[in-house]
Each structure stands twice: as C-alpha cells, then as structure tokens.
Amino acid sequence: GGDEPVVPPTFTPITAAPVAGVEYTFYASDDSNAYYFAGYTSGYYCNATTDATQAVTVYAEPVEDSEGSFYLYYLDSENTKQYIVTYASGTYVNNKIVTDVAEATAYYFNTEYNAIMIDLLETSYFFCFYSNSWRASKVTYITSSPVAHLQVKA
C-alpha cells in the first residue's frame, strides 16, 4: 500500500472565555498537522510541538476587577505557575514566560474566531502557530494563519 494521508486529530475549541479550574489543551491545526503549545520559550516566541504528549496543560486565571480578561499559565515540574506574556518591543510583538502575576499580560476571548486576543501597538493580536513557533500575530492575518484555540482537556 501507499502512504496514507495524515489526518490531524479533531478538536473542539471552546466558544467562550476560559474559566478558572479547567484544564485546557492549547492547539492549532492546518490541513496536515496539529500543533500544541509546548510551554517554554526559545528566543522571542513560545515553542510548539506536533507531539501531543509534549503539550503542556494550560489554565486560565481571571483578572481581578476586570470583565472577561484572564491570564494564561501552565505549571512547571515544581508546580510553579508559568504565565504566558505577550509584549511589544519596538514594533515587534514577542512572548516570554514569567512567574510573577504582576508581570503577566491579560488576554480576552474573541468569539468570532474562538481566539485568544490581546491589544498592543494600536491593533489586536491573536495566538497562532506560525514559522514553527507559537506567537501573537496581527488580527489581519487571522484567516491565513492557524489560529491557536483552547480545548477542554479530555
């Protein structure tokens, strides 16, 4: 027999903002692959993996006194919260991981695309898989880049 086509797994993205106390898988997919948030950063972006066993469980934490805003984090091997940060550096938008919630960045949920969003540099950015990494991209690319979604972990 010939090579069977690769069929990426079927996902069910959440359709409203994530809630505290729920375990999520942070994923993106295109026609041939599924990509998962791998947790750590290399350079200016977060790493992605195609190996589901390497995906970290992501959690949401509501921002106090804020309607619908939340932080995203995962736990390291010592159960320390690792907050996912998106920040502007000049005209670039980068990601990093911090352990202090005071340095964390608040995200919001976009129901049109079921996407995690943040507003920086006078535009909206969404999490996506692009160029072998997990990063925030301008909303103008939301129909051309694999959008990163949260799914309740099975």
> How much is the pLDDT for 2?
58
Residues of the chain scoring pLDDT < 50: none
- The Cα–Cα gap between 154 and 151 comes to 9
> How much is the pLDDT for 101?
96
First to last CA, the chain: 33
> How much is the pLDDT for 67?
87
> How much is the pLDDT for 40?
82
User: Residues with Cβ < 8 Å from 150, sequence gap 6 or more?
Assistant: 13, 14, 18, 24, 25, 26, 58, 60, 116
Percent of the chain with pLDDT over 70: 94
